[in-house]
């Protein structure tokens, strides 16, 4: 233990320059190297590279450093296609060949399961990627500001409050790019001002454009700091004329000093309050604030992997926990006897019920509450699930829910994860009663460090 403490206490000063060999990638896409056994994170460095880096932060257990020069380059390093890649911060892996990105994501999941679950050889399959890993995001959410007297829309530079104007983002669906660009152009022409946080003046805070891949319907939402938009009739006419794909123009009012994008008031300025998207045979109405997966083509692959892991025969009672608007439960319902979705957000439960009704799926119900409360209550009534599907946020499963799963003991658990670290920790606890059968990583967000996984765990002693 003393030796371990000494390793962590290696003195590295801010401003110090280090030569490092990069061993692997971290959870945020940063290169990981070691200086006298102390971990050093270097943004932009790749595994196998030898780099020169300057320390920007030094803590007891780790240091962070800025890449100065690549001394020995990885053969998988490429020139990022996006000219704003190094400024924008929306992507973190465009400088890594796409096939190598998929390999690195598989390795990240394996390492998390080794580190946190204690599994020496976790059963992790190759990452399912995209044939064309561009133009995949169905929603653009760009902040609005002023720069040199011009209206701009984009994302903040990492670690700063400097807005980078994005006129053509290569990971966005091209129609969302076009909608944002046209909306910005029209607002500038009509002299509708951007909101200035410091001065607490102006109108438009955020432009949100969403397009339905299956139907082509598009929605524009303007998030404003004040209820009244100047020259709003002219604005609507121009938007309708210049963007024919729009079927919905919406205003959301957020007067608060907050980092949250949306406020509580939403008004339809023109057209429908929502757009229609389809996944497989399912249809969904998407209002301005409704959550929906950002990469529809990969979402179908993800849900098919959930269905494959679920191994349904039509006789099962399925509990869908953290069910959100019910998409996974609805995907599984035709193959199960009954599905019950549980979600703590009442608005999401309402949307889920509407989705079930719209798709004429009668063997599914949605319940507002905590799974760790409802599951034991139902178990006492004799309702024990054959399969539990969990799709938690990045923080992973609530500790009380893990205790409940270990007490209720469904035969199978399918876990949909968006964070390998919390997945590893949760699997480690569930191993008390379950075996890990397989892990399937899926690349939902090419050119970023995010990786989604579908895992199957079966009760020890149960048939696989």
How does pLDDT run across 91-112, given as a tens digit for each residue?
Answer: 999 999 999 999 999 999 999 9
Residue in 82, 88, 323, 418 annotated catalytic: 418
Stretch 361-369: mean pLDDT = 97
- Stronger pLDDT, 137 or 8, i.e. the higher one: 137
Average pLDDT over all residues of the chain:
94
Q: Give yes or no for a contact between 414 and 385, defined as CB atoms under 8 angstroms apart.
A: no
Fold agreement between 2-77 and 139-287: yes
**Eight-class DSSP state of 264:** S
Range of weakest confidence among 158-167, 184-193, 389-398:
158-167
Topology of domain 139-287 in CATH is: OB fold (Dihydrolipoamide Acetyltransferase, E2P) (2.40.50)
Query: For the segment 286-295, what is each residue's pLDDT rounded down to a tens digit?
Result: 999 888 899 9
Q: Would you state the pLDDT for residue 316?
A: 97
Q: Check residue 2 and give its pLDDT.
A: 46
- Which of 186-195, 197-206, 434-443 shows the lowest mean pLDDT across its residues? 197-206
Per-residue DSSP letters for 28-40?
Answer: TS-EEEEETTEEE
- Rounded to an integer, what distance in angstroms lies between the CA atom of residue 256 and that of residue 263? 8
Calculate mean pLDDT across residues 414-434.
97
What does DSSP say about strands 17-25 and 31-35: parallel, antiparallel, or unpaired?
antiparallel
Give pLDDT, residue 9. 66
Strands 204-211 and 163-165 come out as: unpaired
Separation of alpha carbons 245 and 300, rounded Å: 24
Give the pLDDT confidence score for residue 99 in this predicted structure: 97
Give residue 179's pLDDT band: very low, low, confident or very high (50, 70, 90): very high
pLDDT at 8: 53
Is 127's pLDDT higher than 70? yes
Query: pTM, whole model, 2 decimals?
Result: 0.92
- What are 54-68's pLDDT values in tens digits? 999 999 899 999 999
Span 383-405, average pLDDT: 95
The whole-number average pLDDT for the span 253-265 is: 91
Buried/exposed code over 300-321 (b: 16+ C-beta within 10 A; e: otherwise): ebbbebbbebbbbeeebbbbbb
In CATH, the architecture of 2-77 is Beta Barrel (2.40)
- Domain residue ranges of the chain, discontinuous segments joined by +: 2-77, 103-130+295-459, 139-287
Interatomic CA distance for residues 35 and 40, integer angstroms: 7
**pLDDT level of residue 242 (50, 70, 90 thresholds):** very high
Separation of alpha carbons 219 and 45, rounded Å: 38
Domain 103-130+295-459 grouped into CATH 3.40.50.150: yes
Q: How confident is the model at residue 463 (pLDDT cuts 50, 70, 90)?
A: low
Q: Is 50 exceeded by the pLDDT of residue 1?
A: no
Between 258 and 417, where is the model more confident?
417
Can you tell me the mean pLDDT for 212-233? 97
What are the C-alpha distances in Å from 440 to residues 242, 332, 435?
43, 18, 15
Q: Any residues with CB less than 8 A from the CB of 83 and at least 6 apart, and which?
A: none
Give the start-end residues of each E strand in 43-138.
50-58, 62-72
3 pLDDT tier (thresholds 50, 70, 90)? very low
Answer yes or no: 418 catalytic.
yes
What is the band of 149 on the pLDDT scale with cuts at 50, 70, 90?
Answer: confident
Percent helix / strand / coil, the chain, rounded to 5: 25, 35, 40
| pLDDT above 50 for 328 | yes
């Amino acid at each position: 233990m003393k030796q371990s403490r000494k390793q962590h206490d290696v003195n590295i000063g801010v401003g110090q320059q280090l030569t490092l060999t990069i061993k692997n990638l971290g959870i945020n896409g940063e290169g990981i190297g070691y200086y006298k056994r102390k971990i050093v994170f270097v943004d932009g460095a790749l595994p196998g590279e030898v780099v020169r880096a300057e320390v920007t932060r030094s803590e007891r257990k780790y240091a962070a450093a800025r890449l100065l020069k690549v001394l020995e380059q990885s053969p998988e390093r490429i020139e990022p296609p996006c000219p704003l890649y190094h400024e924008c911060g929306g992507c973190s892996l465009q400088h890594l060949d796409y096939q190598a990105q998929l390999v690195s994501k598989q390795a990240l999941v394996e390492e998390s399961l080794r580190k946190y679950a204690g599994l020496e050889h976790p059963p992790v399959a190759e990452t399912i990627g995209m044939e064309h890993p561009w133009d995949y995001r169905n929603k653009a959410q760009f902040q609005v500001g002023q720069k040199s007297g011009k209206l701009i829309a984009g994302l903040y530079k990492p670690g700063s409050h400097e807005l980078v104007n994005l006129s053509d983002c290569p990971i966005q669906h091209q129609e969302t790019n076009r909608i944002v660009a046209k909306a910005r152009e029209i607002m500038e022409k009509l002299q509708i001002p951007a909101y200035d946080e410091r001065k607490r003046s102006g109108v438009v805070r955020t432009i949100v454009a969403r397009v339905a891949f299956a139907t082509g319907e598009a929605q524009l939402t303007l998030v404003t700091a004040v209820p009244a938009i100047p020259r709003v009739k002219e604005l609507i006419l121009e938007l309708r004329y210049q963007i024919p794909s729009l079927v919905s123009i919406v205003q959301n009012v957020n007067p608060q000093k907050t980092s949250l994008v949306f406020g509580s008031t939403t008004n339809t300025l023109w057209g429908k309050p929502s757009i229609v998207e389809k996944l497989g045979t399912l249809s969904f109405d998407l209002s301005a604030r409704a959550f929906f997966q950002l990469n529809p083509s990969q979402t179908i692959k993800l849900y098919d992997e959930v269905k494959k892991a679920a191994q349904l025969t039509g006789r099962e009672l399925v509990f869908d926990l953290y069910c959100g608007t019910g998409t996974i439960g609805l995907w599984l319902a035709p193959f199960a006897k009954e599905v019950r979705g549980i979600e703590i957000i009442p608005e999401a439960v309402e949307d889920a019920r509407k989705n079930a009704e719209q798709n004429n799926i009668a063997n599914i119900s949605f319940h507002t509450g905590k799974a760790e409360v409802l599951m034991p209550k139902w178990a006492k009534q004799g309702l024990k699930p054959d399969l539990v599907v969990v799709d938690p946020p990045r923080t992973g499963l609530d500790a009380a829910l893990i205790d409940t799963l270990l007490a209720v003991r469904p035969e199978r658990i399918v876990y949909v994860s968006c964070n390998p670290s919390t997945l590893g920790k949760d699997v480690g606890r569930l191993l008390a009663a379950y075996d890990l059968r397989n892990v399937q990583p899926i690349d939902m967000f090419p050119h970023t460090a995010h990786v989604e996984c579908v895992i199957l765990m079966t009760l020890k002693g149960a048939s696989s």
